[in-house]
Structure 1
């Protein structure tokens, strides 16, 4: 989840995790169960702009689904090759290889084998310029009835938003079902923020074991948690706290839900 070329909404430390934990609006959201969101026989395809986005967004859900034997696929849009903190001299090619390995290790902790991961190889920080190519790459990989989990089209990060738009187009063309997930939204939004369609959000409470697996999976993304002396890592502790709450959120479809969508 790189901080390269951030949208204007993303600056400073954003809204602290404690503010979200105490938010009555979130506490009152309708609840879903993980298995109701992905019934037996349905496939989850997670389309992640950067390595670690799949864990930040739905890591707890992936752990539960893999344990239940659901069919899972993770499509990595970019390799996160420019996601380095200030002052880090790591070359892009070297970082890309590192982050691919971190993704494999993190997803293995959630129970996903290496063959569940499909890299797409788009340029980190440049997904907007390759949005059409991303749609074309997704089309042969999606099936009717898939539930495609990806970043919200208004998430505040250009790569996240372009990925969300491309997934929406590919889902419309293939008969897959789009499920958008806020990731950077928790940084720039505030409780009750009118820019967020709160009525679409659903909450999925994570069992302690799922939250622990998510935490341990994120801990394997060392390149994003470390920084040279005096610099800030890509994922500092105050940011991680927002994504390591014992709950994950998804957005119900913006139009009439398809058959089987939990209310």
Structure 2
């Protein structure tokens, strides 16, 4: 079976300062993959590379036969301008832009789909609220509703369960499991190792570069987690920009 996602010696970063070094690997169609690692490990940069926001400094990211409209991206809530005067209904409706176009209008079918997506995440009745009035959990439910509308084959979730209550986490995790059951490919950046061990069969442990990638039980060992922390702590953000084809040292 052809890979849904391939990384071929990928280096990603900003101003020639790599945040992810020389990543190689494949993600199978229908995979449920957790991306874990310390703060600053490069998880968000990797996701931005997958969806095309950040272009590789070197190497290639391949998405097989996927069209850009078949990739859904849920960013961290910190990346959302909550002061922007837009209603919950209209924000969720942006999930249809790739299908209807920016000026495609909002017909009855589209409005019904938005209403169903809001109901699926427990936000019926919030349609006319502005996004700045939402709690953290409500904000995350809204972002999931937008992903639902996109009906994507590849779903990329950046910290989807961060700083939300247990009920919201459980509800949104159920959606992730539903997508997995539908054979969609789901990647999620996560910090909660217990959640990863319980619900994600595959894990990539990242620390600017790959520490381990495979079955979750084999990746999340004490030794690997210690190595990931050491690699991130040893990284010097003030160092001169390195050549993209320079293999990073793991020496402290």
TM-score computed with the length of structure 1 as normaliser: 0.31
Q: Which has the higher strand share?
A: 2
In our comparison, the structure showing a higher alpha carbon Rg is 2
TM-score computed with the length of structure 2 as normaliser: 0.32
